[in-house]
Structure formats: structure tokens, C-alpha cells
Structure 1
């Protein structure tokens, strides 16, 4: 036992990564909290883990997500502070979208900056995630009325690196924050125009579900094949393999596991020409406006052979565990004080 895994928000991609590391690598022990009430996890998880994690002399590396306030944990548990501390960013709170900037809670982004300062290595799942965080630090700290800290980007950047989220792709023969309003409005327009299509809406539900979901499910009626969370990963991949097109209307995305899983299963991706998507997908799969997305889908509904005969003009292999496991093994086998 040499690696301490900590996940304050054990659900979705956070759970997927921790389960993968624990399952594929020897010597990992996991402590976690259920994926509920994200804001409270970010505020109080360090205090919980201070009491929940017993002292152990065999730990060498602490690996956690940026939901945890690592600075608080290190202060509360100096024994854990002596480990090599690896902080993984699934998303960052400096550019996470809010309706109005004054609605942004300063504390969450501030916690992530503090965590970076005490971490030994800071890992981002994409270059977009890393650069959007680092280049926003100075502007973000201007919210402090006076005595603002200086040069934090310069201090943090040398610790940072990009390692893409590792996906265990299936052996196949061939997500308020995701802007469901735009997605379902376009689907309803297709239905109103009498265009033939079938729809599967898959995903885990946490707490607040926008009203548009229930409205759309009623309006789309018989066009809906699947709706909601599928408990079996095999069932989930079967639905993806039966689909032709996968659509993102995300207002934020720092990586996009589900999109890559769908592409691996043979779906034609349609993504915004923004956020992380240009980093991952070739230009032909990107759209700039909802109108462009609607036009593409109208064409696909009328000519489904276009997507069924299409072969994805990109690669999913670089995002697989098979390709990335060496990077993660290096992270989790480093000794305290050793440069990676």
C-alpha cells in the first residue's frame, strides 16, 4: 500500500478515474465521499478526510482531485503533507460558467489556487483546462480589494502538466452545465419538421434537474428510445453502438469522456467550435452556432447514410488507458521529493 487516493466527489468522471487507478494499479487505497452537494464537498471534505483517513507509514503518494482543498488537508494532517501530492483537475473554477460574474463564489477558485501552491504536481486533463486556469489567475485575484498576491501563475506553472483523462474503451466492432435547453430545442424543431430520428438521452442525475428535461421527454414522445442512467456499462455501450450521431451543446467542457466513448463506438460527433473540443476533434465535427447544428442534423435525418457510412477522421487511441497508463504509473510511483 503506497498510494492514497482521495475523492471528495465520487461520481461521474471523478469516480471513473479513481476506480480505474485502483483497479489497474497495485498498492492503491481509496477514501471518498458520495457525489452529492458539490459545494459542501469543496468546503468541508478536508475536515472529513482529516478524521476518516488513519495514519499509515507506507503511503508515498497522495492523489486527489481539485475538489479537495489540499492546503487545508495538509495543515490539518502534516503527515499527509510529507507525501508527494498530485492534484488532478477535471475542471477549474476560475472559468466555470456562471450566469453573472458576481454570482461566482470566490472561495472555490481560491481553494484551487491554494491547492496548486501546496501540490508537488498539478495535472490537467486537457491543455484548454490548464491554460484557462493559469491565465485566469491574475484576473481572478483582482477580486481581492487590496494586498493582492503576485506572480502566482509563475509559481504554479512549472508544476503543471497535461495528461488526458484515461478511458477504458470497450472492445466494440465499430452531460444545466451541458446546455440542455439548446439541445432539446433543436430536437423539438426536427420533430416539428416531421424529420425521422430516434433519440437516446443517457447520463447520471445528481440533484437539480432542469425543467427542460421533463418537458422534452413529453414533447419528443415516441422519438425517445432511451432516457436516463443505465446502471450497466455494457448496456450503455450497446446504446452508443446502436447510435449514429452524438451531440454536445456544452457551455463548459474541460475534456468530454462521454463524447469520446461515443465516437469510439462509431458515432459521428457534433461539438461546439469552442472549449476543449478543437483540441480533440477535427474541424469537420465542429459547429459555431445552434443554426449550424440544426442544419447538419436536418441533413443527416434526410440522408442517414452520410453518417452510417462515415469513418471518424481522428483518433481515440491517444485517450485510452492503454496509451496513458505509463504516465499515471509514473505519477503514482514517484517518491516524495522526486521530480517527475
Structure 2
């Protein structure tokens, strides 16, 4: 895929895995800066990491106006520059969605260090071939999850989502929920409505779905009532726990599986009460912040990136703590519904980060 947003663009965007959060970021930049875009579909991630440089060396057009090369670390940047010396002169911005040296592997697999090694090589390009790094901690475009919604919006908007039906050709502009839900203390009707728990992550082992479902099965065994939405994208070989969990938790399930419609996805998040992460590998967590922006009470591991974003009251240290927190909220769902989450999602909006990106991607002549 190749496209240009204007004549003689100064920025070249290259994405070897154009899907999910990778696609979110590329689409956002393409909408707001003058650029050329070269991408590959989000399929067979391992092959993209191994062969994308060769592909792009043959498909990226020669363009004397290019001054900046932006890519994610799926691409082996060293290989691309070696195969296309004309790109060596460009300022380079390398975005790391995740660290392949610590990515969890399945028990029956040994780590393939080639992917982490590729990241190291790309990072260690000689100084005269400048590499900059975008600030992973400050951008809502991480690796991962059900990526249907795009929270980074246009330059003049804050972080915006819509919980209502809208014209699909219009930009969603609903404000984040900042006030407690209109529930009075001890409202009988609200107490009868079960807690709605959402798990909006990729159906892969690094998200530890086994821990999540084992926790919910314990809640069921304790005769606690709750509703469940399991969203997120499914790939070729999802963990075996999913069909078994669906069978065991069937009467609790409201939504099951990937929702390709952004509006439908956001509607579920706006209807849910609690969002849970059981991830064993997370460098940002878009899905969690999207759910919080829609008003969900978050429960996250006290590990990985989460303590950098979420206050301590939303973190758990052990599976037992997660179970106890959910058990308490199942018995008092109004606590989650009345709570105002202490996370400022607007700080991750394009309007807040625009100037930093413009500086990062400013054209520099050699």
C-alpha cells in the first residue's frame, strides 16, 4: 500500500504490520501531516519482521523530498537502509510498540531471539544515521488489543468517543464521562442489575486469558451474579481456554468476540462497569485507557506499565486480590458505577501531543 497526503511530502511512514494499534498511529499521522505511506497488511507477524525490509526496498519509491523516515520496530531498519542507501540520509524515528526480548513465550516454545536482535540492530544504527524514538509512555498507540476505536482524534479535538448512534461519515465527539453515573445510594433497581465486566484484549497467551477466566469461574462458583463481555481480535491459534470458558460462563455472557464496528465496540465499553487486564506483557495498554475513557472502573496488574498510568487503588498484586476485588464489586456494583476514575485520558489526545509529534517529525536537511 502506498499513498500520499500532499505533493512533495517530507515524511515517509513505513509500517510492516498495518493493523491494530500500528494502524491507529499511521492513520492518525497520515491525517495530520504531509507524508507518503508504505504498508503491509497485518498478517503473519513473524514473516513481516523477517522479510519486510526486502519488500520495502523494492516498493518504496525514490523521492528527493523525503527528509524523515518513521517506522515501527517490526521493520528491521538496518536491513532496509543497507538495501536502500538513499534512505540513509533521512532522519529516522523508530517506534517500539513492545520489547521482543521479554515477550512471553508459550511453555512448549523456545524464544526466537532473532526478533529482539532485529530491534537491537535497528536501535544501534550509527550516530550519523540518526535514530529518534517516540515517547512510548506518552502516546495512546501501543501494541495490542481490540483496536476498532481510534481515540486519537483530529488536531482540534480532545480525546473523543461516542456512546450514541451517529452518522458513520461524521467524527465522533462525545465527551469522556467525568461525573458519577446518576445512581442514588442503595438504588434497588441498580443493585439488581449485575456488574458488567469487560475484557477487551487480543485473544493471545500474553494477555493471560487463563487467569481472567479462572477468576470468573470462581465468582460463578460462589454464586455471584455478573455480566461478561469478551472482546478483542482473534488470530490463527487462540488459547484453548476460550471455548471452554464460553461454555462454563454462557449464561453470564452479553458479548463474545471481536466487534468490527467502532461504534458497537464503544457502546459496549460505555455500558460496562469494570474493565480487567490480566496481561503479562504490556507497554502501554490502549484498550484499558479506551475503556476508562468510556467510564469503566479499571483493575490492572501491579506490574508492567500499569503503575505508570493508574493509581494504586486500581492495581492488584496477586490472582487472589483480583478475585476479591471483583467479588466485592459484584456484591456492590453501584460502587463501580458511581466511581470517577482518577486518570486523565485527555493527556493522551492528539490535541495534547500534536506539538511534540510535529517537532519529532520536523524535516531536517542533512
Match of 2:32 in 1: 24
- Structure 1 residues 245 and 231 mapped into 2: Cα distance closer, same or farther (>3 Å)? same
Out of 256, 262, 274, the residue aligned to residue 291 of structure 2 is: 262
5+ residue gaps, structure 2, are 1-8, 142-150, 153-158, 162-173, 178-200
Please give the per-residue CA displacement for 1:154-203, whole angstroms capped at 9, x wherever unaligned.
xxxxxxxxx42354231245221100000011111112222111111111
Distance 1:55 1:9 in 2: 22
Higher helix share: 1
CA distance in 2, matches of 1:336, 1:47: 26
TM-score of the pair, normalised by structure 1: 0.85
TM-score normalized with structure 2 length = 0.79
Which range moves more in the overlay, 63-72 or 319-328? 319-328
- The 8 Å contact of residues 116 and 122 in structure 1, kept in 2 or not, is answered as no
Residue 95 (structure 2) pairs with residue 120 (structure 1): no
1:73 aligned onto 2:80: yes
Q: 1:75 to 1:173 in 2, by over 3 A?
A: closer
In 2, the alpha carbon distance for the partners of 1:123 and 1:96 equals: 20
SS in 2 for 1:103: coil
Within a 5 Å distance, the mapping from 1:47-86 to structure 2 comes to 47-86=54-93
Distance in 1 (CA, whole Å) between partners of 2:71 and 2:140 is 14
Query: Equivalents in 1 of 2:109, 2:233: separation in Å?
Result: 29
Question: Aligned partners of 2:29 and 2:264: how far apart in 1?
Answer: 23
Distance 1:228 1:181 in 2: 16
| Structure 2 residue 281 is the aligned partner of structure 1 residue 306 | no
* Residue 264 (structure 2) aligned to one of 235, 246, 250: 235
For this pair of structures, how many residues does the alignment match?
300
Match of 2:214 in 1: 185
Q: Structure with the greater relative contact order (CA < 8 A, sep ≥ 6): 1 or 2? A: 2
Q: Is the 8 A contact 2:134 2:360 kept in 1?
A: no
Please state if 1:8 is matched with 2:37.
no
Equivalence for 1:165: 140
What is the root-mean-square deviation of aligned Cα atoms in Å?
1.6
1:19: Cα distance to partner? 0.9
- How far is 1:102 from its partner? 8.4
In structure 2, how many angstroms separate the alpha carbons of the residues matched to 1:102 and 1:124? 32
Any runs of at least 4 consecutive aligned residues in structure 1 with deviations exceeding 4 A, and if so which? 99-102
